[in-house]
Structure 1
Amino acid sequence: MIPAPGDGWSRLSPRKLLLDPVKAIGQAVVPVVVAVVGISQSDSGFGWVVFPVLVIGPLVFGALPWLTTHYRLTDTQIQVRSGVLNKNTSTAPLDRVRSVDLEASLLHRVLGLQKVQVGTGVDDDRITLDALSAADAQALRTTLLRRREAAVVVAAPDASTEDLPDVAPRPPAPAPLPVELARIDWSWLRFAPFSLSRLVLLAGALGALSQFGDNLPIWNEETARSTWDWLAQFALVAVVLVLSVAGLAAWLVVSVAGYVVQWWRFLLVREHGSLHLTSGLFTTRSITVEEAKVRGVRMTEPLLMRAVGGAELSTLATGVENGVTQVLPPCPREVAVGVGQAVLEHRGPLTDPLVAHGPLARRRAWFRELREALALVVAAAGAAWWFDISWWWVAALAVVLLLAAAAVGESSYRHLGHALAGDHLVAGSGQLARIRTVLETDGIIGWVVSQSWWQRRIGLADLVATTAAGDERVLLRDVRLDVGVALADAATPGLVREFLEP
């Protein structure tokens, strides 16, 4: 029988009564405005009745989560129950807690609240408490992480002491102090313009703006023609130069501002057997990744960032959402290597040279890119024939595409490679970006060897190490079949040995 609230159960912060109604009103503002406009244009006399319902309804529904949500900690579990008609009770054993993440939006921070998300490593299900006071959230996080450690110790007693007579228990050892692995250095801002990840957001914003731009009265054929005639009065080179400088300036502002907003007060520490990351200007994040579940790291060097000596670092872990957690912002490569080595507790996997896959792998890398370029050239030729466009444009496009495909193919091959560094499998990949993935061999749960018809003819294969961490697979592309099988046997002895025997 579940105890009644008050018998060890606690409510969320009363300030949640201010948080949820504001969020509910924000979500309902559009329907409310539509309903009010519709009622005001009708002749019915229900306006004075419906209007208070439309305003008070979101407030009432916003207050329900605080009234119906309770949580408590027992010696072995964290328990949360909620719901009005459909009661829901969520529990998680303390020894199964894998992460305790804190998040606070701008509204949370104004009210002094934080959202707590407890991960147990079962799919993406999390126990969420939204919202606790900042002090209570921090205390709950510390308590859960320490009780998780205590539960693991109790579950696995030292066998050498089981037969000893009862003695007075030793006092608990003091918790080790957090070890700082990295913190924000604002000189790293120089890498922000060379990270193109925010171009997706900028393109999305332009796409949304274009939806409204089509309806503007200035966007018509006459206006476009007059604008072009006005631009034609100036030198075309000057117009292109001005537009390029303006676009570059806008990108600098967007990229630097986005970097500051996301990585403000960034700090990465090791504590309670976990990696703990905090950052954020408006919405603060506090992410915890249990080190026992970290199976490797991934260092990414995008093309532009590599030219200025920058890199990014992510961990590959089991039991966390998406499996891949970025633990460093764009930063100097030596910083990413240093933090990666600290996480792996092993030197070499991120810096040692890789074993090349040979000239046949280079030929396949070139062929893949040239095949895609030729497909585009054929499509351009078909369009030129259909629309009666000069074939000189098709020839120029073909030259550009083929040269670009050759460059990308060579880049893809140069990033290709593999190594076995002690108990770590290292895989190099990437087309323009150079990616090095390091995976603990203990985290490999199987191997998949696949060969296309062309690969079988030249003795190559794609070797995939399957794992529960990260993207659940690490690919070694176009490796010689005998080399790949020998590598798999060396990384996981006995797992593929039967395939080596005649």
Structure 2
Amino acid sequence: MLLVHPVNEAVKVLPVLFVSFVIGSRSGNHLWGLIIVTLVVLFALLRWFTTSYRIGPVHVQLRTGVFQKKLLSVPRSRIRSVDVEAGVMHRLLGLSILRIGTGQQAGKGEKFELNALDSRVVPALREQLLQRAERGPDALRKAPPAATEIAHWKTEWVRYAPFSFTGVVAIAAAVGVLFQYGFGERVANSSLVSSSIDSAERFGIALVIVVGLLVLLVVASLFACARYLIAYGNLTVTDDGARLHVNHGLLKTRSTTLDRKRLRGTSLSEPLLLRIAKGAKLDAIMTGVSAEKKESSLLLPQAPAREALRMMTVVLGDAGLHENAQKPLTPHGPAAERRRYTRAVVPVLVVAAALGIAEALGAPIPTIAWAVVVLVLLGAVFVARDRYRGLGHAVLPGWLITRHGSLDRTRHSLEAAGIIGWTVRQTFFQRRAGVATIVAATPAGVGHYEVLDIPADQAWVLIDAVTPGAGDAWAH
């Protein structure tokens, strides 16, 4: 346990250690580097000795601080989640990190985190906290219910990893680190870059760009597959009737517990690239777990669409949506379809008109510009058609289902009991088209879910169907 904190602190001050090492190497005096390492180790050890926690009958308390003491107290009745995480070093030492979530936004230094706990005591500790929070004091005397596995990760799912932007993001992060530590200038002046410039002059810039894009695609795909394997390998989802347990990770493991009492639905994500590969991703809509704050509500990572749909049906069926969770959606009519084409095509036509006017006035417009306009126009038409095909809603007893988007299509299934308010919104152009957007406010997930461009005369009818009485006529 004493080893974890020194290593973590050393990683935080790695740039300082690197600079001190370089200066010491040039001067032949490594005393400054040794002093910095000693101070880091001493401070980390003091942090470990001054950190303690206490689980009382009403509150869970965490005491921290070396120079400034801090006592963080969380009422056990406010505990919404207990997550367990273990990095490579933690796993080698038999340790884990336990985090307690309350559903509130925690500021810096206010997160309840127990680092470097003995992994053998963590399951019992988590069960104790969750039982107290979710079932009351009497549940402590009962044995936890048996869990049933409802999903299991398969190796072939890794083929869906390249159909995302995680590989490109990883490459961008690596390049940023290289430039931050001064390696970018060395790469720019290297023989590889010089030979690439010579090749561009010899074979043409277009060919070099195409080859570069292909290389970037291959490297990004490899990065995405590696990240997917590390993050989601060995994923299992189990259900004990009261909670969903999601465990995943090869090197760094993570265990998330989702309370069914706070489950308000699911979000099925089908981005365009992943949809082309017939894949999807599934998240839970949970009260007290904010998707906007990147809190974990994952049920399935990128996986076959049929598996994500099966998982969605199982979770929603157990949550009370006993009818078909995959019910076909009601389209929003010709007005919504026209808006999709208008918003996609008109900007491209405006650019084309501007180019035409410029050419008529004598400005030289290259042929490639017109080719790009035509390609963009065809792409806009495709996106508009796909956006309308993905637009729709359905109302089932006690549930609202809404779907929209093309490049990032998402199907939200939201329980009516989790909706705390409604907003019917119309812009100037929506009023002219006779459509409206319905916003369902909820304390779960992203906080609000929209039904886009529904015929205006059907807006309050839909609201009344989901939550009877909310669509009553206005009194003047």
* TM-score bracket, shorter-length normalisation: 0.7 to 0.9
Q: For 2:154 and 2:331, how far apart are their aligned partners in 1? A: 36
Alignment correspondent of 1:8: none
Alignment correspondent of 2:169: 200
Q: For 2:401 and 2:209, how far apart are their aligned partners in 1? A: 45
Residues 49-83 of structure 1: CA distance to partner in whole angstroms, max 9, x if unpaired? 75543221101111122111111222232221112
Of 3, 14, 22, which residue of structure 2 is paired with 1:29?
14
Does the CA-based 8 Å contact 2:271-2:406 persist in structure 1? no
Aligned length: 464
Of 100, 103, 125, which residue of structure 2 is paired with 1:118?
100
Structure 2 residues without counterparts, runs of 5 or longer: none
Does the CA-based 8 Å contact 1:181-1:268 persist in structure 2? yes
Q: Which moved more, 1:437-446 or 1:451-460?
A: 451-460
Of 259, 265, 268, which residue of structure 2 is paired with 1:290?
259
Change (3 A) 1:255 1:37: closer
Does the CA-based 8 Å contact 2:58-2:75 persist in structure 1? yes
Alignment correspondent of 2:404: 429
1:329 aligns with 2:301: yes
Alignment correspondent of 1:18: 3
Q: Which moved more, 1:412-421 or 1:487-496?
A: 487-496
Alignment correspondent of 1:5: none
Alignment correspondent of 2:431: 456
Q: Rg: which structure is higher?
A: 1
Change (3 A) 1:22 1:220: closer
Alignment correspondent of 1:411: 386
Change (3 A) 1:100 1:225: closer
Q: Provide the TM-score with structure 2 as the length reference.
A: 0.87
Of 413, 437, 442, which residue of structure 2 is paired with 1:438?
413
Does the CA-based 8 Å contact 1:195-1:304 persist in structure 2? yes
Letter in 2 for 1:315: A
Q: Provide the TM-score with structure 1 as the length reference.
A: 0.82
Letter in 1 for 2:343: R
Q: For 2:194 and 2:111, how far apart are their aligned partners in 1? A: 56
**How far is 1:378 from its partner?**
7.1
1:69 aligns with 2:43: no
Q: For 1:461 and 1:148, how far apart are their aligned partners in 2? A: 41
Structure 1 residues without counterparts, runs of 5 or longer: 1-14, 155-170
SS of the residue aligned with 2:120?
helix
Q: For 2:296 and 2:35, how far apart are their aligned partners in 1? A: 45
Does the CA-based 8 Å contact 2:167-2:222 persist in structure 1? no
1:128 aligns with 2:113: yes
Alignment correspondent of 1:142: 127
Which residues of 2 match residues 287-366 of structure 1 at below 5 A?
Answer: 287-321=256-290, 322=293, 325-345=297-317, 346-348=321-323, 350-366=325-341
**How far is 1:337 from its partner?**
1.7
Change (3 A) 1:144 1:379: farther
Q: For 2:9 and 2:176, how far apart are their aligned partners in 1? A: 28
Aligned-CA RMSD value? 3.4
Letter in 1 for 2:114: L
Alignment correspondent of 2:152: 183
Change (3 A) 1:186 1:150: same
**How far is 1:490 from its partner?**
1.6
Does the CA-based 8 Å contact 2:316-2:325 persist in structure 1? no
**How far is 1:40 from its partner?**
7.8
Residues 101-152 of structure 1: CA distance to partner in whole angstroms, max 9, x if unpaired? 0111112112211110011222346411011011122221122122324426
Q: For 2:194 and 2:57, how far apart are their aligned partners in 1? A: 75
Q: For 1:79 and 1:231, how far apart are their aligned partners in 2? A: 67
SS of the residue aligned with 1:91?
strand
**How far is 1:429 from its partner?**
0.5
Letter in 2 for 1:107: M
SS of the residue aligned with 2:13?
helix
1:102 aligns with 2:84: yes
**How far is 1:254 from its partner?**
2.4
Percent identical across equivalent pairs? 33
Letter in 1 for 2:411: R
Which residues of 2 match residues 233-272 of structure 1 at below 5 A?
Answer: 246-271=215-240
Does the CA-based 8 Å contact 1:311-1:332 persist in structure 2? yes
SS of the residue aligned with 1:344?
helix
1:373 aligns with 2:348: yes
Letter in 2 for 1:475: E
1:399 aligns with 2:371: no
**How far is 1:393 from its partner?**
2.4
